[in-house]
Every structure is written in structure tokens, then in C-alpha cells.
Chains A and B, each alone.
Chain A
Amino acid sequence: MPRPSHLDFDQVVASGVSRSYGRRRALRHVSLCCRGGEIVGLVGPNGAGKSTLLGVLSTLAEPSFGEVRYGKWTARGAGTRLRAQIGFLSHELQLYPELTARENLAFFAGMYGLDKVDARVEAALETAALSDRADDVVEGFSRGMRQRLALERALLHTPRLVLLDEPFTGLDESAVAALMHRLSLLRTDGRIVLVVTHDLDTVDGLLDRALMLRHGRIRELPATGTLRERYRVEVQEASSKLGGVSA
């Protein structure tokens, strides 16, 4: 298949994705579909494979088995242009602490080959409520400020697929509200948003669907009840099936 000059897609489909690290299997036959205009939550205990799944979906890691399709494209088939449509905020914030907020954003804007860099950077700084600290080095920022900056870095190129790993970490109440509003706007804009989180109460009501990943296997949580209740029921069911293995 020839490589596209401009690439876009309206859904991401993972089919039977497994990923092993040596003898340890982090993901086991994971299949999921995320569509444009929906926010999907990915929950699960520590070590369940959530970050590994984000790594695979972001094209940073290749699945050991199975494949991920971005619309009609695979990561291998689409090449580097696919990465222009992926925004990834990982738990580690992927910022350079010695650079200022403005320099960090400008650097990544350059790496993504964006036009109107100054205007985009200014807008991102304003959205992150960091305009007054734009020329301060990131080293001196609080976790919440870094988190806001990292989120803007991940969204700077208006990606189609937005992958967020624990985006609420370190945010105060107003910043959480601002992020929730931001995610709602991304949904309205037709973006595909996948959020990994432990903040079940925070995202309850925001998510269109919730998936649970446990021991490398994925299941969709039922639609009724609060997210915490649904999560608890699912964990209990899974534990009883496994003969009482704790969550």
C-alpha cells in the first residue's frame, strides 16, 4: 500500500494484540475499538498492562502478536506520518527540565513540523495557564504545572488519537475541571481519546465507555452504575473466576 501524504482515520482497532517481555506476557489477546468522538477509559490495577497497551497504540512498541489498525492503516504501512496523528501524554512527562516552558513547546512544534509555531506555542501556554511562567525553566515547576504543560505538548499538533496516561496526577481542583472541559472539547471535535486512570470518581460521567485491563486481558465494564461500582464488581467476578486471586 502506498504511503499517504496526509493521513487521517476515524477509529483505532486492536485485534488480538499480545505483547511479551521475555517470558512475561504483559498483554494477552487484547482486542478493542475506539471511535472518533468518544472518550474511552482504561482502568485496572498496577501492572495490569495499561501502559504497555498505550505504548503499542502509540506505535512506540510493536505487538508480539496481533495488529493495530488506524482506520485502514497499520503502523508499519503508514510510516512516520501516522505519528503526526498521535498525541501521547505518558506518566513520565517527556519534558526537558532545563528548558523553559516556551522552549519545550517550540522544540516539539519544530519536531512535528508545525507552521505558525509562535502562535501555537502562545495559545498552548495560555490554555495551560502558564503564560506568566513561559520563560521559566520547567525544573522549577510544580507537578501540576508540568502536567498541564505536558498535556499541551501532547496536543500541540491536534492529533486524531489522544492517549493519556494518568492525566489527573498532581492537578488541583480547578486544573482537573479545566482538563475535563478540555477532554469534552476533544470529544466534540471528533478526536479519539483513551484515558488510563485510577481516578475513578473524577472521570465518572466523562467517559463514554470504560475498559478494564487485568493480568493482560481486557474486558468492557458494564454500562450501569457508577464507575467505581462497576470496577469493583468486575474485579470481584474476575477474582472468583481465578479462584480468589486478589485484585
Chain B
Amino acid sequence: MTRFLQVVWLVVRKDLRVESRNKEMLVTTLFFAVSCVMVFAFAFVRGGRAVDGAAAGVLWIAVAFAGTLALGRAFERERYQDALRGLLLAPVDRPAIYLGKLSGLLLLLAVVELVVVLMVALMFQAPLFEHPFRMLALLALGTLGFASVGTLFSAMLVRTRSRAVLLPVLLYPVTIPVLIMGVSGTNVLWQPEPDLAMVQLWTSLLLFFDAVFLTLALWTFEPVMTE
């Protein structure tokens, strides 16, 4: 187990180091997410008041689109100079490589979400700090569900020519339940008088989906990566 976690950390540290040098994924995803929120703010905020329920939708659309952009790049850097083969040749449990890539991606998305959530709260007057921990749980679990499937698909498609087209085509149908739960839970939470039991239900459902997605991804990563 220690070795497994050590490999996860090695992959995360390597990805963070690469990202700190070129800032490619952070800049593109952040720029895209911020632009997304800005455009929707112009459409859904009239006379200083946001359309009811729009804030939750905008938040999750920004997260999903920015996440897709990041997922598309996550294995791209492993494809360059065929570094992925170097990784796969190492005598390690391959799910550890998957978890390392996933963790790096989650850290990146956490930075993006921090900015996006604050922007949505500001522009749509969302009561962000009413229930901060419930909001954090919804965001964390939703992002984990989305990214766990996305990382697996990104790895699967790394050797295909039309991966940029195929990734969203495969990803969205599978992750739609996660996005719907995220939007629904956030929408309930941001009501003037939120039904906390409903929020709890959506959070629990997200947790269930995450467990299923993560288990399946860890289980299938090894055969998926064998040529």
C-alpha cells in the first residue's frame, strides 16, 4: 500500500512540476471557465437580479467544460514522446498511475473551481457562505465523479486520432447524472430557504456514483492500457 501511494505521489508531483513550468492546462481551463461565467452572467442577470436557478447551472457548466478541456490535455503530455509507454513499463500497479493522473487533475480543477465559484457568487448573488461545507461536499464529489470517468476515457483515447472529438461524445452521456445531481443539489442549497434534506440526498447520490465510477475506473485501467 505504501508503494502504491508512493507511485500516486510521484505521478502527481511530476504532473504538478510540468504544469508549474508551462502552466498550459491551468491558464487554458481558467480562461475558458471565467469566460463561460462572464458570458452567462450577461445573459442571465437582468437589472442586478439573476434568473432563478441559473447560478447553479452556470457553475456546473463552467466546471464541466473546463474539466473537459483539462481532461483532453491530461494524457496529451504522456503521449508526447511516448512517455506513457515509459510509465506503463514501470513495475508498478497501473491503477496507481491512474490515481496519480486523477489527483493531479483534481488539484487543477480545485484551483479553477475556487475562482469560478467566487465569480458565480459575485455575479449571480449566490449565497455561497450560507452552507460552505455542504457546498464544498457537492463540488468535491461532483468533480470527483466527473474527473474519475474523464481520466479513464482520456487514457483510453490517448492513442486514437480523433480523441478531441470522441472524449466529450463518450464523457457527457456517462457523466450527465453527476452533473444533474450537482446542479440540483447546488440549486436547492442556494434557495433562500434551502431544503437541507434534499441537499443531503443529492450529496449521498453523488457519493454513490463516485464510488461506482472510481471502482470501475480502477478495475478497468490495467486492461484498457494494455495494447
Which residues of A approach B to under 8 Å, CB–CB?
55, 58-62, 80-84, 86, 88, 90, 92-99, 103, 107-108, 110-113, 137, 153
Contact = CB atoms under 8 A, between A and B. Distances in A.
A24 to B, nearest CB: 14
A172 B103 CA distance: 41
Interface residues of B, number: 25
B6 A110 contact: yes
B148 to A, nearest CB: 22
A95 B14 CA distance: 12
Given A61-B227, A96-B14, A99-B17, A111 B92 contact: yes
A84 B92 CA distance: 9
B89 interface: yes
A107 B10 contact: yes
B18 A99 contact: yes
Contacts of A60: 85, 88-89, 226-227
Interface string B10-21: 100010011001
B85 A94 contact: yes
Nearest to B20: A98
B90 A94 contact: no
Q: Give the interface centre of B3, B83, B87 by most chain A CB atoms within 10 Å.
A: B83
A58 B18 CA distance: 27
Given A96-B18, A137-B21, A108 B81 contact: no
Given A80-B92, A111-B7, A92 B82 contact: yes
Contacts of A82: 91
Interface of B: 3, 6-7, 10, 14, 17-18, 21-22, 77, 80-83, 85-93, 226-227
Contact of B87 (A93, A98, A99, A111): A111
B92 A96 contact: no
29 contacts: A55-B227, A59-B89, A60-B85, A60-B88, A60-B89, A60-B226, A62-B227, A80-B91, A81-B91, A83-B89, A90-B85, A92-B81, A92-B82, A92-B85, A93-B81, A93-B82, A94-B83, A94-B85, A95-B81, A96-B81, A98-B21, A99-B17, A99-B21, A103-B17, A110-B6, A111-B92, A113-B3, A113-B92, A153-B86
Given A88-B85, A92-B81, A108-B86, A98 B91 contact: no
Nearest to A83: B91
Contacts of B83: 94-96
Contacts of A99: 14, 17-18, 21
A137 B91 CA distance: 26
A78 B69 CA distance: 38
A6 to B, nearest CB: 11
A88 B216 CA distance: 30
Contact of A98 (B3, B18, B93, B227): B18
A49 B77 CA distance: 26
- Please name the 10 residue pairs, one residue from A and one from B, whose CB atoms are nearest each other, closest first: A92-B82, A94-B86, A111-B90, A61-B227, A84-B91, A83-B91, A98-B21, A98-B18, A80-B91, A110-B10
A107 B3 CA distance: 14
Nearest to B225: A60
Contacts of A83: 89-91
A170 B227 CA distance: 28
Contacts of B81: 92-97
A58 to B, nearest CB: 6
B77 A96 contact: yes
Contacts of B91: 80-84, 112-113
A90 B77 contact: no
Contacts of A110: 6-7, 10
Contacts of A96: 14, 18, 77, 81, 83
Given A95-B83, A108-B86, A61 B226 contact: yes
Nearest to B226: A62
A59 B91 CA distance: 11
A55 B85 CA distance: 10
